[in-house]
Structure 1
C-alpha cells in the first residue's frame, strides 16, 4: 500500500509551520517530512508529532547558508569540518524525532567549474558521504542523496539517476540510498518507469509533484497513478513524500490522494 507523507515545507502554507502537523493529520497523513528542523527545538517538534500521531520520515542535513543561496555542503572542498558539524546536529534531531533517514544535499558547483573543479567536488562528495554513512550506521539510520534538476537549482552537483548509482558504488555503504524525486527525474531525463525500475534496488525514499509547475500530482504531464501502481508492484514499502506547492488551498487539492487513504 502506498503511504503518503506530507512535506510540511510546502503543503499547508495557509497555516503557521507548527500548525501544519495537525492539518496534515486531519487530512489523513500519517507521516511528515520537511526541509529542515533546525529553527525549532527538537522537543517542540517531537511534541507536534506525538500530539498528532505522526511519524517523522525525512529531513535534510543543514545546507550551509541557505539564505545566501547555498544548497548543501557535502561536495564542497574546504568545508569538510562544517559538514561534519552539520552531521552531528542532524543526528541529534534524528534521535529525538526518531527519524530513520536524513538527506545530505550535494551542494552547488561554481559557475565556471572546469574538469579539475568537478573532480575535486566528486572526491569531497564521496569522502563526506562515506564518513556520514558510517556515523549513521552506528545508530541504525539511512543516508540519502538526491538528484535535483538544474532548472530549479542551477549548478547542483547531482542531477541524474545513473550518476547517483555511480556515487553509491564509489562510497560502498549499505545504508546509503537514493531519494528518488519523480518531479526532478521527469525534468532531467524522463522515461520515469524505466528509471524507477533501474533505481529500485537503491531506493531509500520517493517524492512526487506535478510537472512542470510543481503543483498537485494530478496536474501537468505526469500520470502518477501508473507510476505509483508500478512502484507498489515492485514491492516498495517506504514513504512517498508529497513535495509540491499547492495550487490553492492544500486540503481542497487533495482529491487525487483519496485513492491512497487521505480525506480531502
Structure 2
C-alpha cells in the first residue's frame, strides 16, 4: 500500500496549524506536507515534526504575493531575482525540516503573454533551481494545475510538464502528479500512471475526490483501483492527501482506515 501524507494546509483545519502535526500523527499518518511554512520559524516547525514523529515530505517555494492572487513566479519574465531569493529561503527551510522535495509554482499568465518567452524564463529558472537543489540533496517539483481552479496557470497538462523536465534535463527536477488536477484536465488516469511512472520523472503524487475536492472515496474516481496500479508499478514515493474534508478530518478518514 502506498504511503500517505496528510496535507496540513487543507486537513485538520479544526486545529490551530501548529497543533495539526500531532493530530495527524494520532490518526496514523507518518508524513505531512503543506503549502507554505514561512509564517512560522523553521525551528518551531522542526520541533513539531520531531515531537509527532513525522517526516516532512513536501512544501512549496515562495509563490510571490499569494494573498494578492499570485500563484508562483518561476515562469514570469522580470521576476528572476525574486525567484532566486525565494528559492534560497525555501532551501533553508528544507534543510531545517529535512524535507527532500520543493514544489515550485509556475505562475499565472494572460492570454496575450509571449508564451515562448514565458517558457524560456520558466526553463531557465528551473534549471538554476534544480542545480541548487541537487547540491543540497533536494528535488524540485513542478505540478500541472487545472485551469478551472486556477485560471491562467501556465502549467496545466502532464505532457507539458514532462516536456519541461526533458528540456531542463536535470535529475533534480521531477513532476508532481496531482490526480485531482489530472482528472479534471485530461482524465484517463490509469494510462497516465502507466505511461509516466516508468520514466522515473514522477517525484510525488497527490489525491482528492473529483469534482468537489473532498475525501478520495467521494466523487467519480476509483482510488482503490489506482492505488493497486501504483503498487503494481512499484511507486516508491508518498501520496499527498491534498483534499478539503467535507465534515471534519477525522470523520472522513474511513477511506484510509479501510485500506489499512
Taking structure 1 as the reference length, the TM-score comes to 0.96
Q: What's the secondary structure of 2:92's corresponding residue?
A: helix
Instruction: Point out 4+ residue stretches in structure 1 off by more than 6 angstroms.
Output: none
Mapped to 2, the partners of 1:198 and 1:108 lie a distance apart of 28
User: What's 1:232 paired with?
Assistant: 231
Does 1:102 pair with 2:102?
A: yes
Does 1:176 pair with 2:176?
A: no
- Equivalent pairs counted in the alignment come to 258
User: What's 2:214 paired with?
Assistant: 215
User: What's 2:256 paired with?
Assistant: 257
Residues 3, 260 of structure 1: 8 Å contact kept: no
Does 1:197 pair with 2:201?
A: no
Mapped to 1, the partners of 2:39 and 2:193 lie a distance apart of 34
User: What's 1:24 paired with?
Assistant: 24
User: What's 1:243 paired with?
Assistant: 242
1:219-239 Cα deviation digits (max 9, x unpaired): 000000000110111011110
1:193-247 Cα deviation digits (max 9, x unpaired): 0011112121100000000000000000000000011011101111000000000
Mapped to 1, the partners of 2:33 and 2:147 lie a distance apart of 23
Mapped to 1, the partners of 2:116 and 2:112 lie a distance apart of 10
Give structure 2 stretches of 5+ with no counterpart: none
Mapped to 2, the partners of 1:146 and 1:28 lie a distance apart of 27
Deviation at residue 177 of structure 1 after TM alignment: 0.6
Does 1:122 pair with 2:119?
A: yes
Does 1:161 pair with 2:119?
A: no
Q: What's the secondary structure of 2:203's corresponding residue?
A: strand
User: What's 1:51 paired with?
Assistant: 51
1:147-191 Cα deviation digits (max 9, x unpaired): 000000000000000011110111010111110000000000000
Deviation at residue 139 of structure 1 after TM alignment: 1.2
Mapped to 1, the partners of 2:90 and 2:259 lie a distance apart of 31
Mapped to 1, the partners of 2:195 and 2:225 lie a distance apart of 16
Taking structure 2 as the reference length, the TM-score comes to 0.98
Mapped to 2, the partners of 1:36 and 1:228 lie a distance apart of 27
Mapped to 2, the partners of 1:109 and 1:15 lie a distance apart of 35
Mapped to 2, the partners of 1:61 and 1:49 lie a distance apart of 19
Mapped to 1, the partners of 2:54 and 2:25 lie a distance apart of 7
1:74-119 Cα deviation digits (max 9, x unpaired): 0000000000000110000000000001000010102x325xx111
Deviation at residue 259 of structure 1 after TM alignment: 3.8
Mapped to 2, the partners of 1:66 and 1:164 lie a distance apart of 22
Deviation at residue 124 of structure 1 after TM alignment: 0.3
User: What's 2:14 paired with?
Assistant: 14
User: What's 2:75 paired with?
Assistant: 75
